[in-house]
Amino acid sequence: MRDYTQLNGLALAYVGDAVYEVYIRDYLVENGQTRPNTLHKMATHYVSAKAQAMLMEAMLATDLLTEDEKLFYRRGRNAKSHTSAKNADVTTYRVATGFEALMGYLHLTKQQDRLDELVAWCIAKVGESNEGK
């Protein structure tokens, strides 16, 4: 068994990106979305760097995270990436990377209930922000 808490932020974000994407795809399909173009368009409301950064900032502002979770968020945010987002500025991209690192940390350390709780919170939060649109 590997100690996943020792992974660097980018490795955690790599896993977290995929994990969060699957949660969102499951959610959209479970709610009746079946057309690929619609699925992709709707998914971006949840998984874009801009959306993830907004969610992360909201989680921090509402003091939703434990100290450990904040640590893994910062590990991802502060990681030195040699790539950048196509549609986001550097700060937004780094905050989103921190969000993904947090998701990866929770997944790899088998904190399933907490991961489920945070993803459900994120889905509800995106729903709230899209109501006025």
Catalytic annotation, residues:
17
Closest CA to 65 of 25, 15, 99: 99
Identify whether the C-beta of residue 14 lies closer than 8 Å to the C-beta of residue 104: yes
Tell me the C-alpha distance between 84 and 82, whole Å. 7
Collapsing DSSP states into helix, strand and coil, what is residue 78? coil
Residues in CB range of 115: below 8 A, 6 or more apart: 19, 103, 106, 107
Single-letter code of the amino acid located at 46: Y
Tell me the C-alpha distance between 56 and 25, whole Å. 19
